[in-house]
Amino acid sequence: MTTTLSAPKRTAGRLSLLRRSPKLTIGILLILLLVAIGLSAPLVAQAIGGGQDPTETAAFPRWLKPSGAHPLGTDQYGRDILVMVCRGVLVSLQIGAIAGLVSTVIGVIVAFVGGYLGGFVDTVLSFFTSILLVVPTFPLLITLSAYAKEVTLFEVGLMLSIFSWPFAARTIRSQVLTLRTRAYVDLAKTTNSRDLEIIFKELLPNLLPYVMVGFATSALGSIFGLIGLEVIGLGPAGVIDLGHLIFVAISTGALTLGAWPLFVVPIILLTALFAGLNLINIGLEEVYNPRLRSVSGV
Amino acid sequence: MTEPADAKAVRAAETAVAAEAPDGAGASIRAEHLVQRFGSGRGAVLAVDDVSFELDREPARIVSLVGQSGSGKSTIARQVLGLQRPTSGAVTYGGKDVLRLNRKQRSEFRRNVQPVFQDPYAIFNPFYRVDRVFWTAVRKLTDLPNKRAADEAIRDSLRAVKLQPESVLGRYPHQLSGGQRQRIMLARIHLLRPQFVIADEPTSMLDAQTRRGFLDILQDFRVRYGITTLFITHDLSSVHYLGGDIMVINKGRIVEQGAVAEVMAAPSHDYTRLLLASVPAPDPDQRWTERIDIGQIR
């Protein structure tokens, strides 16, 4: 009999794996930092406004330069930029989470039902997915936003998720088609496992990286979508996210007036958001795919 | 003529065992006029063409299904295991179509008919440790009373196939060799003690020494536990080593069958003669001189 390749690390749990993936750690830290920034909005508002809402029109003088009292200055309406940025981060994260979650759930259901069952069901679902994939979504979003000016954050998330699930569905379905013919799926069938057990216990764990990629892509797509709408001034009313701040910066010529934080800070935070989500994707792939883990003693 | 006392005792014991045996004990597997066509129109492939045979529970025996790649062997294995719906014909277990069993009957069928698949690298879900193969089988297909008894049974089964439990349990599939993985599947068979094993080219990816050990275990299972095996292979030397019965399949049709010794000594079909002539001899001076056009053989 051949020798064993490596000794097991039975004590090594998922947490140590998380710790051993620097990409995942950095990604999670970045997202946690952004969440912390978003959640600190009330405290920052209290500290800067002293009981008054610092984002109200004319709360402070216009175009104040960054200072101790206003670390990022104020905009053309005299609103504190730091408080708006903190609130904008939270809104962008919420939009990403809502739209990412809804579209991932829809995408996973469509992918697994179609990919695993095959046949007519798969044909219908694939046809529907393909239609949504080729339809130019941004013009549709613009049209939708014209009819949906007064909407809640959740409704905005739902609206964006309508167009962002097909990518996840297509990616995951292709993997389901591959995995459902694997011998271990046949073995599960001969062990009397039911279809749902096979889907959730045999297929889904192997597809977690793809599900996460689907989530991150949908979340990013939705955040981008809303930013796109905001930047051209078509965003839903009452929703101030990072895109809205960029729109304000562009439309008021903030850069030329020296109010660079209004433009630069949201861009930096958006970059951190995208980097964080993508690093989590890559890190999860390392954690959940055992073949990518180091094999000692080979 | 009076029956000897010990023979009477044996018969009484057999009767008692039969009375305690679950539904389906002693049942046979019958393949009745199996046809499998893939695709349609001009591109259709006839993989299995009117194949019928019977696997009996008693006496336990090894039946080898031999043919070249693409002759329909694996398709027949999948049909027998209830993993592939035949285009026409049926596989019955205990007189019932394996695709029309109710829940209880299916459970009984799964308990008594188990596979060993070809690819030792694809049988295991890479997401889980190899232990799961046993624990799922324990949970679904055995009546072991508690976890301790199950653990002991698993360890006994591993020892029965000459594996050290501590060298394989707790490991991921990629940490084990192909031979170890295939033996684990035999340990699973040992744990479940089914009536029938459908072994689809289980030795094709094993080295010569490991292959022999594997074949010895199959024989051991037949003798000790009365397990009948459908051994699917293209390797006539393995068939010769195992003995028992042989069915030769060519282009989806069984062209010859009988006892291994008889068929190998006096093959009646051209294709069988071709297969026998194609077995490489471990002699550097012996070379194939005759060219055979396989397309001419029907």
By C-alpha distance, the chain A residue nearest B168 is A4
- In this structure, the dihedral spanned by the alpha carbons of residues B150, B153, B157 and B159, taken in order and rounded to 10 degrees, is 120
Report whether pLDDT(A235) > 80: no
Domain that holds residue A178: 71-292
Query: Does residue B210 sit at the A interface (CB-CB below 8 Å)?
Result: yes
Q: Between A298 and A121, name the one with better pLDDT.
A: A121
- Residue whose C-alpha is closest to residue A284's, from A190, A180, A208, A174: A208
Q: Which residues pair with B45 in a beta bridge?
A: B38
Maximum mean pLDDT: which of A212-226, A241-255, B88-102, B202-216: B88-102
Could you give the 3-state DSSP secondary structure of residue B46?
Answer: strand
Number of domains into which chain A is organized: 1
Phi, psi of A296 (to 5 degrees): -80, 150
Determine contact, residues B158/B165, Cβ cutoff 8 Å.
yes
For the segment A167-201, what is each residue's pLDDT rounded down to a tens digit?
A: 889 889 998 998 988 999 999 999 999 999 999 99
Please report the pLDDT score of residue B145 as a whole number: 85
Mark the ranges of chain B whose per-residue pLDDT is less than 70.
Answer: 1-26, 281-298
Using the Cβ of A175 and the Cβ atoms of chain B, whether some distance falls under 8 Å is answered with no
Tell me if B175 is assigned to some domain: no
Which three-class secondary structure state does DSSP give residue A164? helix
Residue A126: its pLDDT value, please?
93
pLDDT at B239: 92
pLDDT tens, A42-60? Answer: 999 999 988 888 888 888 8
* In-domain check, residue B270: yes
- Is residue B9 a part of any domain in this protein? no
> What pLDDT digit, counting tens, does each position of A141-172 carry?
788 777 766 777 788 888 888 888 898 898 89
CATH number where A233 lies? 1.10.3720.10
Is A65 part of any domain? no
Domain that holds residue B252: 22-120+196-296
**Counted domains in chain B:** 1
* Residue with more model confidence, A171 or A295: A171
**Residue among B114, B210, B213 whose CB faces A190 most closely:** B114
Domain membership of residue B52 (yes or no) is yes
A42 in any annotated domain:
no
> Measured between CB atoms, does A11 come within 8 Å of chain B?
no
B174 touching A, CB under 8 A? yes
Q: Quick check: is B172 in a domain?
A: no
Measure CB to CB from residue B126 to each of A8, A186, A206 and give the nearest one.
Answer: A206
Structural domain contains residue A22: no
CATH assignment at residue B258: 3.40.50.300
Give the DSSP H/E element, type plus range, for residue B35. Answer: strand B29-38
pLDDT of the residue at B102 = 93
The per-residue pLDDT for B40 is 83
Whether B90 maps to a domain, the answer reads yes
Contacts of A191 in chain B (CB under 8 A): 110, 136-137, 140-141
Residue A97 pLDDT greater than 80, yes or no: yes
Q: Is residue A163 part of a domain?
A: yes
Provide the pLDDT for residue A84: 93
Residues 179-198, chain A, touching B (beta carbon < 8 A): 182-184, 186-193
Residue B255 in domain? yes
Q: In Å, what is the CA distance from B59 to each residue of B28, B152, B243? A: 11, 30, 14
pLDDT at B19: 39
B196 forms bridges with which residues in the sheet? B113, B228
**Is A55 inside a domain boundary?**
no
Q: Nearest Cα to B161, choosing from B114, B117, B216, B223?
A: B216
Higher pLDDT, B122 or A7: B122
Contacts of A202 in chain B (CB under 8 A): 125
Distance from CA of B139 to the nearest CA of A (A): 9
Question: Taking the CB of residue B208, how many other CB atoms lie within 10 A of it?
Answer: 9
Nearest chain A alpha carbon to B104: A192
Asked, for residue A272, whether it belongs to a domain, the answer is yes
Cβ A1–B118 below 8 Å, yes or no? no
A290 pLDDT band, cuts 50/70/90, is low
Q: Which residue does chain A place closest to B185, by CA atoms?
A: A187
